[in-house]
Chain A
Amino acid sequence: MQVSVNPAKCQGHNRCARIAPDLFTTDDMGTAHVVGDGLVPAGRERVARLAADNCPEYAVSASDEGDSQ
């Protein structure tokens, strides 16, 4: 699974980084970024999906496309 943040949509609600601090971080302006390459470690898929499902701006996505790689 892969997570990503759309910086054009992110408004700094900071929900993703609170739910999954190992997957997301925020900069001084509060904008969220993925940690590292955004690849979700095994066992953290549910938390990654929750980060996406709690974003009021629909800026966070968690997709399964990276699984087969």
Chain B
Amino acid sequence: MTATEPRPPTRDWTTDFDILDPRYVEDPARIWDGLRQACPVAHTDRWGSTWLPVRYDDIAAIAHDVEHFSSRDIAVVSPGREFNPEASIPLEAPPITSDPPLHTWARRLLLPAFGPSAIETQTIVTRAVATELIDGFSGRGEVDVATEYAQHIPVRVIAQMIGVPVEDEATFLRWAVTILQEGFINIGKATDCVMELISYFAARGDERRAMPAADRPDDLITLLVEATDDDGAPLTDRHVIGSCFLLLLAGIDTTWSAIGSGLWHLASHPDDQQRLRDDPALMDTAVEEILRFYSPVTMARYVVDDVEVAGCPMKRGDKVLMNFPGGNRDPDMFERANEFVIDRAKNRHFAFGSGIHRCLGSNLARMELRVALETFLDRIPTFELSDESAVTWSAGQVRGPRRVPVRW
């Protein structure tokens, strides 16, 4: 069975789950609740043998066990894997697709650029992007906050950080959607986009290397072309381009989904919107609760060595879905786990993952989410959904609303 063929609907979620099933896309929390009672690590043979843990502690344990669980294949669905579990992924993207020891230095190279103090300086840029977008629709009385607001903020900020023209935004969004959101249903188009992206960043890297060092702008492409590995050798083209792929695409639809979910929540829960307007000090807990309740990202790991998790025999070549969104609804970890509590004080969520692969861009994503919400609430009066039936949610690796029409 391939992802492109019509699939029979799931009858038993414990032995034949399907994260692309419309019921999972619509309301995954109901399915996780059922699984926690029946079988906390579900299995499927759709697209190759794959496991789905739903308990917080199981997911955290897998995330920390890098001996058995490799990041060589982090896609929730890898087309062709049902025929060959060793099927290669189209592009390495260090450090997200790396294991130690490569992971360790590839990540250390990038960490300072995404640390709390470096990201603080991006706040002004982010606020300017949000303000400019709102200027374009504030007089209209209605907007689709997903397609006209949330979608544009992370891509414009990261383009400036990487050092590529913001004018190429439409191309970057097309790559993100075609490769990450539609890759498993249209492999050919996704591969074309990957090739386009490789040529694009190969050219940017060559331009940068051709410049005298003193003239190179202070951005992430310069950082990568000037970097050396542990032996003092420059990074390979493959590494530079792979890291650019990661830096550009990893933050686009993930953060756009978080911003979209946050605004969808405020539009459809007027009490929470009013509380946040009355008490802006709630923003910190509100942001963390949006990240917990609407966690956008499910990752995956590749089993490199047979291992048992919660009584389940995982074999070499199996895939495990890193169900951080499901773990974030585990009632053993969170009180009132399926309620959105805007002032939740104890919130040990792992929306940004856990262990050595903690999202490199978490400080950036959190800042963008906060600034996007603050700026919107500041400029737009009380708003509500204008057409609830128009709201659609994406499936697969990243969950978020793709259309959120609101009016005020």
Q: Is B349 an interface residue (CB 8 A)?
A: yes
Interface string of B277-290 (1 = CB under 8 A from A): 00000001000100
Q: Is B136 an interface residue (CB 8 A)?
A: no
Q: CA separation between A13 and B324, bound complex, in Å?
A: 15
Q: Is B350 an interface residue (CB 8 A)?
A: yes
The total of interchain contacts (Cβ-Cβ below 8 angstroms) comes to: 54
Contact assessment for B350 and A50 in the assembled complex, using a CB-CB cutoff below 8 Å: no
Q: CA separation between A48 and B209, bound complex, in Å?
A: 48
Contact assessment for A50 and B358 in the assembled complex, using a CB-CB cutoff below 8 Å: no
**Which listed residue (B116, B349, B355, B356) contacts A30, Cβ 8 A?**
B116
| A residues 26-69 in Cβ contact with B at 8 Å | 26-30, 50, 53-57
| B residues 203-245 in Cβ contact with A at 8 Å | none
Q: Chain B CB within 10 Å — which of A12, A18, A19, A50 has the most?
A: A12
Report the nearest A residue to B359, measured CB to CB.
Answer: A13
**Which listed residue (A11, A14, A50, A56) contacts B345, Cβ 8 A?**
A50
Q: CA separation between A14 and B370, bound complex, in Å?
A: 15
Q: CA separation between A53 and B347, bound complex, in Å?
A: 7
Report the nearest B residue to A10, measured CB to CB.
Answer: B358
Q: CA separation between A55 and B112, bound complex, in Å?
A: 21
Chain A positions within 8 Å of B284 at CB level: 18-19
Q: Is A17 an interface residue (CB 8 A)?
A: yes
Contact assessment for A11 and B355 in the assembled complex, using a CB-CB cutoff below 8 Å: yes
Given A13-B358, A14-B363, A18-B284, does the pair A54, B346 have CB atoms closer than 8 Å? yes
Q: Is B354 an interface residue (CB 8 A)?
A: yes
Closest chain-A Cβ to B283's Cβ sits at a distance in Å of 11
Q: Chain B CB within 10 Å — which of A11, A18, A28, A55 has the most?
A: A11
Contact assessment for B111 and A29 in the assembled complex, using a CB-CB cutoff below 8 Å: yes
Q: Interface size class for chain B?
A: 20 to 34
**Which listed residue (B115, B347, B362) contacts A28, Cβ 8 A?**
B115
Closest chain-B Cβ to A31's Cβ sits at a distance in Å of 9
User: What is the interface of chain B mostly: helix, strand, loop, or mixed?
Assistant: helix
Given A50-B346, A56-B348, does the pair A28, B112 have CB atoms closer than 8 Å? yes
Q: CA separation between A58 and B354, bound complex, in Å?
A: 11
Chain A positions within 8 Å of B358 at CB level: 11-13, 56
Closest chain-A Cβ to B110's Cβ sits at a distance in Å of 10
Contact assessment for A11 and B363 in the assembled complex, using a CB-CB cutoff below 8 Å: no
Chain B positions within 8 Å of A55 at CB level: 348
| B residues 77-118 in Cβ contact with A at 8 Å | 108, 111-112, 114-117
Chain B positions within 8 Å of A18 at CB level: 284
Contact assessment for B354 and A30 in the assembled complex, using a CB-CB cutoff below 8 Å: no
Closest chain-A Cβ to B274's Cβ sits at a distance in Å of 25
Contact assessment for B354 and A11 in the assembled complex, using a CB-CB cutoff below 8 Å: yes
Closest chain-B Cβ to A57's Cβ sits at a distance in Å of 7
Closest chain-A Cβ to B156's Cβ sits at a distance in Å of 23
Contact assessment for B362 and A13 in the assembled complex, using a CB-CB cutoff below 8 Å: yes
Q: CA separation between A29 and B348, bound complex, in Å?
A: 21
Contact assessment for A14 and B112 in the assembled complex, using a CB-CB cutoff below 8 Å: no
Q: Is B352 an interface residue (CB 8 A)?
A: yes
Contact assessment for B348 and A30 in the assembled complex, using a CB-CB cutoff below 8 Å: no
Given A11-B355, A56-B354, does the pair A26, B362 have CB atoms closer than 8 Å? no
Q: CA separation between A15 and B345, bound complex, in Å?
A: 12
Chain B positions within 8 Å of A57 at CB level: 354-355
The 26 listed contacts between A and B (C-beta, < 8 Å) are: A11-B358, A12-B111, A13-B362, A14-B116, A17-B116, A18-B284, A26-B116, A26-B117, A28-B111, A28-B115, A29-B108, A29-B115, A30-B114, A30-B115, A30-B116, A50-B345, A53-B346, A54-B347, A54-B348, A56-B60, A56-B348, A56-B349, A56-B352, A56-B358, A57-B354, A57-B355
Given contacts A30-B116, A50-B345, 4 further A-B contacts (CB under 8 A): A13-B358, A13-B362, A53-B348, A54-B347
